Amino acid sequence: MGPTGGGAGGGVGMTGIAEGRVVIVTGAGRGLGRAHALAYAAEGAKVVVNDLGVGLDGAPGPDSPAGRVVDEIRAAGGAAVAHGGDIATSAGAASLVAAALETYGRLDTLVNNAGFLRDRMLVNLEEDDWDAVLRVHLTGHFLPLRHAAAHWRAETKAGRTPRARIVNTSSGAGLLGSVGQGNYSAAKAGIVGLTLVAAAELARYGVQVNAIAPAARTRMTERAFAGTMAAPDAGFDAMAPENVSPLVVWLGSAASAGVTGRVFEAEGGRITVMEGWRPGPTADKGARRTPAEAGKTARKLLAEAEVPGVVYGAG
Ligand SMILES: NC(=O)c1ccc[n+]([C@@H]2O[C@H](COP(=O)([O-])OP(=O)(O)OC[C@H]3O[C@@H](n4cnc5c(N)ncnc54)[C@H](O)[C@@H]3O)[C@@H](O)[C@H]2O)c1
């Protein structure tokens, strides 16, 4: 495996920004998660490669892609172990954290990345499609975070305050909304809320929590956005998932000290800090309004406010 920047290869004794760290990446059998796992290993981390091996809609798949990524990492001289559990179940999340501790004796970084889509317009969105997508993304972030955080709290209580990191995966769909993805947008917006709370609550245990909103060519995007995702014949392949991983590796390393509760967009060679909700124009009457008065005030304030970003796929 070639270097991903400043680091050398992933073999024992090699140096890199993640050297000596034990990193879990969920949904790392393909796509962005695979790229993150390979990048961490190339920077010296030992990686727990989780993947349940499901189809794009979450239906059971024919194989376990986690094993193939582990083989790739080991072939390049790195250290990795596969975990095939469902991260959206408590048992799966607990066994994932246990796999890191039992195999490598520690856990430093959790990258929550696994997920799938069930895109439908809201009028056609069945309750099953809603539940499945909320479950895999939002519950699938919460449960590994919950089990990892419990471990880091125990470490802190034992006098070993970690330099732990969690990198969550949101989406532009969660930040701006995306037509045909009501379930996914709600889940990915929820991941931002979870990130903010986790950053605030877990700081005392030495845990930093950030989120990324990536864009890259994977099976999730290669058909729906075929035009923008296509690889060029020559030059920089901006939509390769490997372009997102360097920021994820840095956020998950000790080098990102002091950075927590932030959301970054990462696509090609571009990194953007996303700036969230904050109070805009405001008016206080000091007394209750009638609905008509509330409407008049709301319209006046809206005229002064910034125009929100356009929902993906709208207009
Ligand atoms: N590709 C993009 O442009 C893009 C944009 C925004 C957000 N994202 C997010 O990035 C993450 C990775 O997406 P991707 O594009 O690489 O998709 P992908 O389908 O290539 O990879 C997702 C992986 O997660 C695994 N998985 C699904 N459910 C699981 C479960 N319950 N337990 C364990 N593993 C499970 C799948 O088997 C799959 O290998 C997702 O959270 C996705 O929503 C991707």
Index of the ligand 1 atom closest to the CA of residue 84: 33
pLDDT at residue 10, rounded to an integer: 40
Residue at 5 is within a domain: no
CATH number of the domain within which 184 lies: 3.40.50.720
Number of domains the chain contains:
1
For ligand 1, the distance from its centroid to the CA atom of residue 312, given in whole angstroms, is: 19
pTM to 2 decimal places:
0.95
Lowest mean pLDDT among 27-31, 215-219, 225-229, 261-265: 225-229
Radius of gyration, alpha carbons of the chain: 21
Residue at 124 is within a domain: yes
Residue at 223 is within a domain: yes
Range of the domain at 264: 22-274
pLDDT at residue 243, rounded to an integer: 98
Residue at 3 is within a domain: no
Residue at 16 is within a domain: no
Residue at 106 is within a domain: yes
Residue at 312 is within a domain: no
Active site residues: 171, 184, 188
The mean pLDDT value of the chain amounts to: 94
Confidence of residue 227 (pLDDT cuts 50, 70, 90): confident
The number of helices, as runs of H, and strands, as runs of E, in the chain is 10, 8
Residue 302 has pLDDT above 50, yes or no: yes
**Which residues approach ligand 1 with their CB closer than 6 A?**
26-27, 29-33, 50-54, 56, 65, 86-88, 113-116, 136, 140, 169, 171, 214-216, 218-221
Residue at 98 is within a domain: yes
Q: How far apart are CA 42 and CA 45, in angstroms?
A: 7
Residue 268 has pLDDT above 90, yes or no: yes
Average the pLDDT over 150-176 and give the result. Answer: 97
Q: How far apart are CA 245 and CA 230, in angstroms?
A: 19
Of 266, 312, 288, 67, nearest in space to 167 by CA? 266
How do residues 234-258 score in pLDDT, each as one tens digit? 999 999 999 999 999 999 999 999 9
